[in-house]
Amino acid sequence: MNRLLLAMTGWGKSWYGQAIMEANAPEYDLFVVADYKDEYRGLCKAGLAQHMIVGPREANLSVDDWKQVLADNPKLVLARYGIDEDTWRDTISRVTKAVRDMCRSGSGSGFLAYDEAHFLAPQRGGAPDPLMGVATTGRGEGVSSLWLSQRPATLSETVMAQCGERLVGGFMSDRDLSKIAPITEYPEQVHKPGADSVPRLPDALTVDGASTPLRRFEDGGVTVGSEWVFADDSGDLERRDTRQITMESTHYGPEGRGIADP
């Protein structure tokens, strides 16, 4: 199964993503997180995976090299360090091929989480074949994937179309909202926080009968929860509140600091 997790910066996307990763790490034989900003090392501190820095030396590893790495350490959080986006994309492409090859050859099931997926599978310029293969044929190979992005406007349309499950939070950008529209069967304006109401909102997405857009909850300027729309290809539709979700591992993503006025 392929799942999208989309929301603007500050909506709690990486926290929610880590909760999903935590729930799935024990269920798969091979588990790899492509950690663009080194936010998910809490999974390693919780004993769910090994932490591995991916720098210039690791970027030179071949597909066969990565198969050996995965044979020795089948559950990994790969943290980008000192390499640019193109090199990172090429490296994760080889890691992906290694996972797919191993699953096809009988090494069990695989789970791949792609943080900042718009850098790995961009709409403009295209994504490497192994990454596109996960989106299109991974399910038949026993490989599931989670694609996290704050910029659906630049994420591959093929990837978005091939994800049978979608968790979408809030966006202020009209470009991002317009990119979301083709994968929703409900008014995409529910994903734009701040409006008084959303016309024609399905009952499943209302709050106590009110057609309100998704909300983000803060305490002292820190996000403590947010609302999301879950939808899948079977027609399921649900409004979810992450304040009702707990996880054992610690999330190390930066909250960011405010800018003071003089």
Note down pLDDT in tens along the chain; length 262 residues.
999 999 999 999 999 999 999 999 999 999 999 999 999 999 999 999 999 999 999 999 999 999 999 999 999 999 999 999 999 999 999 999 999 999 999 999 999 999 999 999 998 877 899 999 999 888 889 999 999 999 999 999 999 999 999 999 999 999 999 999 888 889 999 999 988 889 999 999 999 999 999 999 998 888 899 999 999 999 999 999 999 999 999 998 765 544 445 6
Residue-level pLDDT at 255: 52
- What does pTM read for this prediction? 0.94
Number of H helices, E strands in the chain: 8, 10
Q: Which CATH architecture has domain 2-169+233-240?
A: 3-Layer(aba) Sandwich (3.40)
Element (H, E) at 231: strand 222-232
d(CA 141, CA 221): 44
Residue 209: burial class (beta carbons within 10 Å; 0-12, 13-18, 19+)? exposed
Helix H or strand E encompassing 103: helix 85-104
pLDDT (0 to 100) of residue 196? 84
